[in-house]
Chain A
Amino acid sequence: MNQDRLVRRGLIALVAVSGLLGFAALAADVAATVKERQVLMKEMGAKTSVVNAFIKEGKGTAADVEAAAKTVAADAGKIPSLFPEGTGLDKVKDPLTGAKPEIWTDRAKFEAAAKTLADEAAKLADIAKSGNKDEIAAQFGKVGAACGTCHTSFRQKI
């Protein structure tokens, strides 16, 4: 009888510990996802800076613009997967995230915004091949507008 109780207690402890470990693992997952997408966003920002420098200051080449735009397009494609359920600012307090709940309540609009960015950035990469500064500037305006549109609806200032 003693053995039964011992086994039972042992099992309960095992379940409790693995539950805690599981929860911790989940929390670690969430933190990693938040950090990964923040790194991705910073990378896109660095690339838009490259394009802006070309347009406003004549720094770099059209080839640099093309490479930068390709990175933005690829990164934009990853956006939806980096915003899984349970990673919004209403659920996650650490690390700090500016991901508003609307990302999930308006999921279709969010994913459409990410796709628009990917499309416009891909177009920019194409246009950069021509080297035409005016066309590059015009298309860059559209890329920027795509960034801003998504941020206006879905990003909280933190």
Chain B
Amino acid sequence: MRLSVFSFCAILLSQSTVTALAAEPDVRRGSYLFSAAGCQGCHTDIEHKGMIGAGGRELKTPFGSFYGPNITPDPDHGLGKWTLDDFRKALREGLRPDGSPYYPAFPYAAFTKMSDQDIKDLYAYLRTIPAVAQPDKPHELGFPWNIRTGVWVWRTLYFDQGPLQEVAAQSASYNRGRYLVEALGHCGECHTPRTSLGGLDNARAYSGSTAGPEGSKVPNITPHPDGISTWSESDIATTLESGMLPDGDFIGGAMGEVITNSTSKLTAKDREAIAVYLKSLTPYPGP
């Protein structure tokens, strides 16, 4: 009797401990998420040896140039005064603390799919990077894109708010890969072609684009002959780890940076999950 009461209490206690541990923001997990989501790609001015997260990196688009803001914990120029709620509002809802919308150059249409726990962990990590008192550089956008209220139209057409729900019929690996690609890696932002209003043309998801960053061609990563139909899952995982393509070539350009700062830092299991997901995509021709 005493033993069963004891074991019952032990189970209850361990469950609540597990739940409590899961709820605690984890800086290490946050650091991993920072890599998986490729935050450096916009928020660190790598070319000019800028401090991590301090912003200032130019992103040239057909609408003009965007400059990634400072996401260090500086109280005046970064996120120092932001609460977790502010941070969640930015990622989940794509809204600034004053309620105005972010330009979708900040890919919140992807980040909205993040889990609440991941948002918490990322916030915790961002509190730990060095605070840099660097003011944000204003975007240089052409007319009419410089009128921020126009973003509400884009949002109506292209923004589906809310975390990703797992597909019960699919494997854990598939679901993890889907989460890494759709919510964190935001791969579609480059690899999915766009409509004239700058939204993702999801009817042709991941089939590449002729209007990539720096005007380059972005490859098709669907299992179509134009894309990666001949690649094995192992090939995909290898490429994400080292940048080496199946023919021995090495990826360069903007994707080279993604390999260095993001996918090479994932676990092998996560890279394999991405491979599983990509091989499951609907094949489309293109770009």
Q: Residues on A close to B: CB < 8 A? A: 41-42, 44-49, 52, 56, 98, 141, 144-145, 147-158
Contacts and interface: CB of A to CB of B under 8 A. Distances in A.
Given A148-B259, A157-B217, A52 B248 contact: yes
A158 B217 CA distance: 6
Interface in B198-234: 212, 214, 216-219, 234
Chain A residues touching B, majority SS: helix
A98 B260 CA distance: 20
Contacts of B255: 157
Interface residues of B, number: 24
B101 to A, nearest CB: 32
Contacts of A155: 252-253
Given A156-B216, A157-B219, A158-B217, A144 B244 contact: yes
A152 B216 contact: no
B249 interface: yes
A47 B248 contact: yes
A151 B256 contact: yes
Contact of B216 (A49, A154, A157): A157
B252 A144 contact: no
Given A49-B247, A157-B217, A157-B253, 18 more contacts: A44-B248, A45-B249, A46-B247, A46-B248, A49-B248, A52-B238, A141-B242, A144-B242, A144-B243, A145-B242, A147-B243, A148-B243, A148-B251, A151-B252, A151-B256, A156-B252, A157-B216, A157-B218
A5 B29 CA distance: 85
B251 A151 contact: yes
B244 to A, nearest CB: 6
Given A48-B244, A141-B242, A147 B218 contact: no
